[in-house]
């Protein structure tokens, strides 16, 4: 059974400029070199030329033939190359929501399950547009609730959003002397999360309090602090670098859902940026520039 649906292939044709038998700006030689270096694959193998020897036809056949992990690695490598060329040549994006749609396709190929469903049921699609539309409406509806009810509803909504992307969220639980708003799994790592819906921006005190909770847990525990109104610059500066916390605000949530970027990829990108810079907060629109 093909790894890539016909409708997905039409999208990939646009993203990787595969019209007329081409692939991006590759020549036959440079495409062979790219696949050898990045994937340790021989794209010139006759097995991938059953529908023709053009670069585009060989790539389509490759994506429909090899195992799914290799397809995912190929799509990621091709995307990185595409973005490097686009940045170098200062090319405008020509495909609407290209990265979000590619990451949603990767999620589906990897079979990301809906952890909210009982065992034994078929997993939900990795990208469920009707469900996403409903969650966006629920997020907007929170503004109409009273403050205390809004806080609890925000925590519940976040768990629902996490579970759409197979992050195995748990709702709020209480340990001796402390309240934990919830937890989830990301790339086999356990994260606790704190959710704040308040009028003012979050300052350093709340960040330090949350980090203190993490320090009482196992050494591998990490944290996600979601502050709907954002964070003060002074608070982030005072909180410092190199902590076990990443941050997300209401604008990040809106951009993630509006641009249809899978949440697991957003969080993974935030973790990577924090590891590279030490800074706990990077905006989605900076991590996924259009």
| Euclidean distance between CA atoms 15 and 99, whole angstroms | 9
Q: Give residue 177's pLDDT band: very low, low, confident or very high (50, 70, 90).
A: very low
Residues, the chain, total? 290
Mean pLDDT score across all residues of the chain: 85
Give the CATH number, domain containing residue 247.
3.40.1350.10
- Sort strands 173-175 and 178-180 into parallel, antiparallel or unpaired: antiparallel
| Euclidean distance between CA atoms 59 and 255, whole angstroms | 32
Domain enclosing residue 167, as ranges = 129-287
pTM: 0.65
Average pLDDT over residues 252-279: 90
- Report the share of the chain in percent with pLDDT over 90: 48
pLDDT tens digits, 200-224: 999 999 999 999 888 888 888 899 9
- Do the domain assignments include residue 107? no
- Do the domain assignments include residue 105? no
| Euclidean distance between CA atoms 126 and 49, whole angstroms | 31
Closest CA to 271 of 202, 216, 182, 189: 189
Q: Give residue 164's pLDDT band: very low, low, confident or very high (50, 70, 90).
A: confident
Shared domain check, 80 and 224: no
* Residue 116 reports pLDDT greater than 80: no
- Do the domain assignments include residue 247? yes
- Do the domain assignments include residue 104? no
| Contact (CB, 8 A) for 112 and 123 | yes
- Do the domain assignments include residue 49? yes
- Do the domain assignments include residue 176? yes
User: What pLDDT is attached to residue 17?
Assistant: 92
* Phi/psi of residue 182, nearest 5 degrees: 160, 180
User: What pLDDT is attached to residue 112?
Assistant: 66
Shared domain check, 265 and 135: yes
Closest CA to 170 of 191, 147, 196, 149: 191
Shared domain check, 169 and 59: no
Shared domain check, 71 and 23: yes
User: What pLDDT is attached to residue 204?
Assistant: 94
The structural domain count of the chain equals 2
Shared domain check, 249 and 182: yes
* Residue 258 reports pLDDT greater than 50: yes
Shared domain check, 32 and 175: no
Tokens 């606790």 sit on residue:
192
pLDDT tens digits, 21-80: 899 999 999 999 999 999 988 999 999 999 999 999 999 999 999 999 999 999 999 999
Tokens 């009028």 sit on residue:
199
Shared domain check, 220 and 139: yes
User: What pLDDT is attached to residue 1?
Assistant: 42
Shared domain check, 280 and 157: yes
Shared domain check, 136 and 244: yes
Shared domain check, 214 and 257: yes
Shared domain check, 162 and 61: no
Shared domain check, 152 and 90: no
- Do the domain assignments include residue 259? yes
């Amino acid at each position: 059974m093909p790894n890539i649906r016909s409708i997905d292939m039409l999208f990939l044709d646009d993203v990787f400029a595969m019209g007329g038998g081409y692939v991006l700006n590759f020549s036959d030689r440079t495409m062979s070199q790219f696949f050898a270096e990045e994937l340790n694959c021989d794209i010139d193998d006759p097995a991938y030329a059953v529908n023709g020897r053009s670069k585009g036809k060989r790539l389509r056949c490759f994506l429909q033939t090899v195992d799914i992990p290799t397809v995912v690695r190929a799509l990621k490598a091709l995307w990185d190359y595409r973005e490097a060329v686009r940045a170098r040549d200062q090319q405008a994006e020509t495909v609407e929501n290209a990265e979000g749609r590619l990451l949603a396709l990767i999620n589906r190929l990897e079979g990301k399950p809906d952890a909210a469903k009982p065992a034994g049921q078929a997993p939900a699609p990795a990208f469920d547009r009707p469900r996403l539309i409903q969650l966006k409406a629920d997020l907007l509806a929170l503004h109409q609730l009273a403050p205390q009810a809004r806080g609890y509803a925000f925590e519940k909504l976040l768990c629902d959003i996490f579970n759409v992307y197979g992050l195995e969220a748990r709702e709020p639980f209480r340990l001796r002397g402390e309240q934990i708003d919830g937890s989830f799994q990301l790339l086999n790592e356990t994260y606790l999360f704190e959710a704040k819906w308040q009028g003012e921006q979050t300052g350093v005190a709340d960040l330090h309090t949350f980090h203190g909770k993490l320090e009482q847990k196992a050494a591998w525990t990490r944290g996600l602090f979601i502050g709907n109104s954002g964070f003060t610059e002074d608070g982030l500066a005072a909180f410092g670098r190199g902590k076990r916390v990443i941050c997300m605000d209401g604008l990040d949530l809106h951009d993630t859902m509006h641009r249809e970027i899978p949440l697991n990829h957003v969080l993974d990108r935030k973790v990577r940026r924090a590891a590279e810079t030490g800074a706990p907060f990077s905006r989605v629109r900076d991590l996924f520039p259009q």
